[in-house]
Chain A
Amino acid sequence: MKKCKCKCGCKILKLLAKLFGVLLLANVALFVVFFFDLDGKLLFHVVEPFLKKHYDNMERKDTLKTPYDVAKYVKPDYDK
């Protein structure tokens, strides 16, 4: 029974150590992204130009062709 407990304990310790390692690595990686402004650089050099190209080429409705129906919804004077 004792042996079994020790094995379980070791496994848990190993798992915790692994988890700690992964968290530490993730922290370091995120700090590098933060400190060297890699998020800004990615957005500026890659994401924004890509999206701008997409928006520039997007087909848009010619809003000037919308009928000028200003009287369509005219209702009684709400002030009275």
Chain B
Amino acid sequence: MAKKIPEFSKEDLSKMLKDFWYGKPHGERRLGELYIDKKGLYKHREWRGVKDTMYYFYMIWLYNYIHMVRDVIRFGGVVNFAKGVWRYRWVGQTYLPVLHWFDRGLEGLRGEALKASAWHYRGMVASTIRQFQRMFAADTRLHGGKQNEIYKHNIAHNETVWGGVFYPWSDQYQNVPIEMIPYFVTCHVNCHTVLNYIDAVQSIGLPGDPCPMCQAEAGIFVLDDVPDYAPIVVTCNEACDASVSTSILQDWFWDKPLYALPMPMQFDDPLVKKYCMQEIEGMWKFVEEQTGVPFNWNQLVKKLESQNQLQEFEWEKWEVAAHSNYYPVNGVAQALYRIYQSQYGDWEIWHFCDKKVRKIMEKCVKKKINSFPNTRHRVIAWSCAPLFFSHWCTWAYNCWGLNVIINMDSLMFDMTIRTDSYDHALEDMAQYHMWAPMRRMAVGGMAHMFELWDYMQRFNCDMVAMYDQLQCKGVQGIHGMFEDEFRERNIHAFWIPHALPDSRTVTRAEIRRLINDYMTTVMHEEPLDPSLLDFDDSMGW
């Protein structure tokens, strides 16, 4: 019997052509059906309409592959890169599939939002390559034990030490955070790599309940997976006492001249600020003595003023995000770029990307382009995010119309730094240093944690995504008070429990289920894309 051929009406054909040309409208996309079960790979990448698919193909996928190769060549060469990939798990296992990190974060985006968010990712990729290539170019392990000129011109420091404190030497020395690339960024790109390091530190008998970030940062040393790339090191106690333990292990395993730069907990006290200023000056003396190069005030001013430009543009972005629907950056791009840029410090790539984003944002404002037209709720995300699922906000918008406008990590360094005198610069630098990630609004006292209410109003948000880092004693201690405040203020808030980098404690699927439950049982809403409600990506990057 001959098969019945489905009939196509003119309307069907016209709809098909329209979907091909413009891409399917939000409610019809069924993005969850693109995934290969468990692996998180795509059966095929999303068809976003001719214009946006071609933009993604040429200006994101191809552009970034080409520029990654270019960055590898200009920041240390292919040979150093190949040696590094062969020697260090965190680079080989993590950074090769980096374009999938783009895919996850940019899923479902169209038009100006796709362009602006992708520029944020480009900035982070360039900065990541610059750092690990600098490590490999200097690494004594990759160069027969020799300390070359690059090695002698590096300063290593904890990722929680703001890179700006090294500006006075930035014309001759490069500061490279120890853990930012081997640990922090890896969790976002491939969430499995970090598990090796968490398990390693527990395998030597250390307890499993402290912050898994600190565990992982110590674990890369336990597994001897840190390049030997600098003669001196600066550590700090941020975010908590677990970080101090990490520094002790790092000091033991690395055995280098070390300066411990403290970061006060109670930073509102003016006396504590003076103490912090003295500590920064102490660290400067240490660098002068170790390198033999004097403090360069002009270089400090030059870099601080350059960094201030980045902050001023960030304020402009916040204004657009707060007072209009024309902000073209999605939640994950906003969060990651901002914390990366503000913590690492000034560098040319941030200015380059900001220039591109400014052009796009100005176009959106001028032409009144709403890049997130299916927004049902304007969400503020508070506390520390799950690193293995930082792209949850992309999923939440596609599935539920939850648009994360701003997040806590973006808001911490809410200041420029005065450069009119040495005293003013030092005072502001101390303030900036003390407002570090996970310090000001995560463990910096109740008043700062409760800055949420002001920022919620300022950004016109009607819902809170409250992160609940299960192994952070600081945030756990205030959980109940937040619950009380949400009830008293009649604020819609859902909790996202997680163990920062450890994707085994609370999985991505469990986080999605918790949000789904809240949206159906409390908000009584229907999903925009039901195919995204429940899927298995447990093996995915």
Chain A residues with CB under 8 Å of chain B are 30-31, 34-37, 39-41, 43-44, 47-48, 51-52, 54-55, 60-61, 63-64, 66-70, 72-73, 75, 77-79
CA gap between A75 and B283 in the complex, in Å: 12
8 cross-chain pairs, A with B, having the tightest CB-CB distances, nearest first: A78-B282, A37-B42, A55-B89, A73-B257, A51-B92, A43-B97, A61-B224, A78-B285
Given A36-B43, A44-B541, A78-B286, 11 more A-B residue pairs with CB atoms under 8 Å apart are A30-B62, A34-B45, A36-B44, A44-B41, A52-B89, A55-B89, A60-B224, A60-B225, A69-B255, A78-B283, A79-B278
Residue in B closest to A32 when the chains form the complex, CB atoms: B44
Residue in A closest to B42 when the chains form the complex, CB atoms: A37
B222 touches A (CB below 8 Å) = yes
CA gap between A47 and B95 in the complex, in Å: 12
Which of B92, B99, B224, B283 is A63 in contact with, Cβ under 8 Å? B224
A63-B93 contact in complex given A34-B61, A73-B257, C-beta closer than 8 Å: no
Contacts A/B (CB < 8 Å), 5 sampled: A37-B42, A66-B255, A67-B255, A78-B286, A79-B282
B279 touches A (CB below 8 Å) = yes
Contact, CB under 8 Å: A73 / B258: yes
Which residues of chain A are near B289, meaning CB under 8 Å? 75
Which of A48, A67, A70 is B93 in contact with, Cβ under 8 Å? A48
Contact, CB under 8 Å: B96 / A63: no
Which residues of chain A are near B252, meaning CB under 8 Å? 66, 68, 70
- Cβ proximity bits B244-287 to A, threshold 8 Å, 1 near / 0 not: 00000001110111110000000000000000001101110110
Contact, CB under 8 Å: A54 / B256: no
Residue in B closest to A37 when the chains form the complex, CB atoms: B42
B347 touches A (CB below 8 Å) = no
B86 touches A (CB below 8 Å) = yes
Residue in B closest to A33 when the chains form the complex, CB atoms: B61
> A77 CB to closest chain B CB, in angstroms?
8
A60-B223 contact in complex given A70-B252, A72-B255, C-beta closer than 8 Å: yes
Contact, CB under 8 Å: A48 / B96: yes
Contact, CB under 8 Å: B44 / A41: no
A35-B45 contact in complex given A54-B86, A78-B259, C-beta closer than 8 Å: yes
B26 touches A (CB below 8 Å) = no
Which residues of chain A are near B523, meaning CB under 8 Å? none
Contact, CB under 8 Å: A44 / B97: yes
Residue in B closest to A72 when the chains form the complex, CB atoms: B255
> A69 CB to closest chain B CB, in angstroms?
6
Contact, CB under 8 Å: A37 / B41: yes
Which residues of chain A are near B279, meaning CB under 8 Å? 79
Residue in A closest to B65 when the chains form the complex, CB atoms: A39
